Amino acid sequence: MRIGYGRERIVFFVLLGIFVSGSIMLAHELFEYYQVPYHDIILLAFLPMVGFAMALLARREVAIYRRGDQLDKTRRRINDLMEAAVRKGRTPAFEDASLATCWRELGCDKDDCPAYGREHTRCWLVAGTFCRGEVQGQFARKLKDCRLCEVYRKATSDPISEITENFYAMNYLLGEREEQLQEAYEQARERGEKLAGLVELSEAALSSVHLTDLLGNLLESAAALVGADYGFVSLADSEEASLTVRHTYGLEPGAAAALSGRVGEGIVGQAYAGGYIAVSEEISTDTRVVNEYLLGSGARTLISLPLVGRERPLGMLTLGTITSHHYSEEEKDSLCVAADHIAVTVENALLEGRIGSGREQMELLMAANRDLGTGGGVDNIYQSFIANASKLVDFDRASLIFLNRDASELEIVAADTAAPRTWLGQGIRLPVDALPLDEMRRSGRPIIRRRIEGDEYPADKLLVEEGIASEVILPLTSEGQVLGSFSLGSFKPGAFDVEDVEMLLPMARQLGLIIENARLLQEVKRFDLVDKLTRLYNHRFFVDALTREISRARRDGRSVSVMIVRIENFRAYNQERSRAAGDRLLQGIAEVLQASVRDIDIAARYSGDMFAVLLPDAAAAGGGEVMRIAGRIQDDINEKVFGEDSAMLTLCIGISEYPAHGEDPVSLLEQADLALRMAGEAGEGCVMVAPSAGGGGAAARGGDAAPGGDGGGPAGG
């Protein structure tokens, strides 16, 4: 008999009490009516029955208490499960010792079942189980089929167990759904990052107008798009014969030159020639990878995509990793979009660069022509050039270098540097092999030196001391001949690239022609100041130089001496020999004069048979340095020029000094001329110093020094 709980149980016991009480009363009346002695019956029959009923009731109460304990345990278990749900501890326990082992209970032989061989496992929570060997699939399908399974029914035989297992199932479903949502979130996040990368790539395409900066920004964004460790952009030349690396990411500074190559060679060159995407997921074993730098760099994978412009392929975008990586189709699609961005940006930048450089070139040529037309000369043209070049590239040193006529020596004709001091300044002459000018002269092509170490060329150590780490050298040509070079240097290694050369080279070509014209113009002007026969300075230049030296001597408190040299009997020599012989005689004397004077002295042809020498910082009085120079001139001319004609030709020299004999050019020249006449009157081969304010001059003959002073006649033998 099943007795309910709560109100149902109370009603049952009330009715039972009424029934028992009524039965006792009825029995009592019957026994009284029939006068039956019922006390014995009560003792023998009714009391045992009552005891038996009480025992049954006690047993029932014990069962009720036990059921209450079970319910209390179940309540606590449900509370624990709910707390676990609140804490999101949704991972169910797959193993439980109280559970039957499905494959043993059912005699299952499906050894490919995920639950096969596992003890006491909730097989209905294991993804991909067979469910009595008939059903395999996702959890939602299995739960319905598992309700037919004996093991599942045993595990859920009572309501509490069923609630527990359903709770586990619900948590498992929630866990699966959470994993699906997490996976979807990760996919959405990855797509968002790729979209953000493409947006960043688009922003990078607008970040600069300089191609090098653009490529740096674009390459870094493309690498971040797929998590690449390194990358480089190669652009093809106009003939599509070679691929030059224009920018690198994650590689050493010198990697660009090592990674450049020819079209059709290596994995990148072949991909460019074929117009396809090249992928290598193991560089060390890929026979297409032949570049030594790439093989030795530690790179593991590589992917190279064509950069296709509107009219022709522009180059290649190459990215890679140093760890193992598989390039998915989604990554390839993203990189194709990135390659299209880079191609459009590069094409626009190249077009803008050509337009901009053409404009800069035109401005430079107009400025240079103005300088040339106004007589500005090479220096002004050079300054105009570096002013315009500074608008195109950054540099810390600029120099203009000319080769001499036989290309055996070079001269730095102009130089500017940001360094505190330089050993390669204006006016320095060097052997042609001291710098790479001879190499450039033979090839006729510009040279980019990305890193100057100090030991490649003799003059490199001077550049390193100045701080120059890289330079670009542009040839200056005219009518196919290399006249010299225009060089730009930087304190930073790798500061110049092919783009800079492309911008500057057309201007350098025009600059070579303009400078050659300017040099010719300067040569013409120089002939106005130089005697055509002797190649010495002429009278006008000598007077201008004397004026400048007097001003400097007056400012510094120094002396300046003037020497006039005359050939005695030169007219008779001309008449006797010939005018050509006289010209050769004058040329010989000019050569001796030039060789006999000091580097700071100026020798000039004063008139027909007279020469003049300007001697700064030299005193004539007291038999000083000027007298020694005069004696040396006489000896050298008598020995090397006159020779056998010494009996017919002699040399007289007159000397004056600032400020002792005059304070202006006219006075000094007049005093020197007076001393020359006195020397002629004194005798052959005489050297005479102009008289001071108080008396006669000092003289010497045959190169012997004469004492100065106020005394009268000539001295010497």
**Three-state SS letters, 560-573:** EEEEEEEEECHHHH
Number of other residues whose CB lies within 10 A of the CB of residue 332? 14
Alpha helix ranges (H) inside 243-313: 255-259, 266-274, 292-296
- Indicate if the alpha-carbon torsion angle 173, 177, 182, 184 is positive or negative: positive
Distance, CA of 298 to CA of 282 (rounded, Å): 11
Distance, CA of 346 to CA of 327 (rounded, Å): 25
pLDDT given at position 396: 92
pLDDT given at position 267: 92
- The two tokens of residue 639 are 């020995």
pLDDT given at position 37: 67
pLDDT given at position 140: 47
The amino acid present at 251, given as its one-letter code, is L
- The two tokens of residue 555 are 């400012």
The amino acid present at 184, given as its one-letter code, is A
Q: What is the DSSP letter of 120?
A: S
pLDDT given at position 230: 92
Distance, CA of 491 to CA of 495 (rounded, Å): 8
pLDDT given at position 207: 43
The residue assigned the tokens 């595990």 is 155
Q: In what order do the strands lie in the sheet with 447-449?
A: 429-431, 409-417, 397-403, 481-490, 470-478, 447-449
Helix %, strand %, coil % of the chain (to 5): 50, 15, 30
Alpha helix ranges (H) inside 206-291: 211-226, 255-259, 266-274
The residue assigned the tokens 């560089």 is 283
What's the pTM?
A: 0.35
The DSSP element (H or E) to which 174 belongs, if any, is helix 159-205
Q: What is the DSSP letter of 695?
A: S
Q: How many residues does the chain have?
A: 717
The residue assigned the tokens 């505190």 is 420
List the Cα angle 377/383/387 in 5-degree steps.
145
pLDDT digits (tens, 9 = 90+) for 674-717: 988 888 887 767 888 888 754 455 555 444 433 333 333 333 32
Regions in the chain scoring below 70 on pLDDT:
1-9, 13, 36-48, 75, 77-93, 127-145, 173, 187-214, 348-381, 405, 479, 510-528, 621-623, 684, 693-717
pLDDT given at position 564: 93
Radius of gyration of the chain (CA): 56
- Please list, residue by residue across 499-532, b when 16 or more beta carbons sit within 10 angstroms of its beta carbon and e when fewer do: bbbbbbbbbbbbbbbbbbbbbebeeeeeeeebbe
- Indicate if the alpha-carbon torsion angle 207, 208, 211, 217 is positive or negative: negative
- Please list, residue by residue across 228-237, b when 16 or more beta carbons sit within 10 angstroms of its beta carbon and e when fewer do: bbbbbbbbbe
* Alpha-carbon torsion, ordered 195, 200, 205, 207, to 10 deg: 160
Q: Residues with Cβ < 8 Å from 482, sequence gap 6 or more?
A: 403, 440, 441, 444, 475, 476
pLDDT given at position 192: 57
Distance, CA of 377 to CA of 517 (rounded, Å): 9
Distance, CA of 199 to CA of 178 (rounded, Å): 30
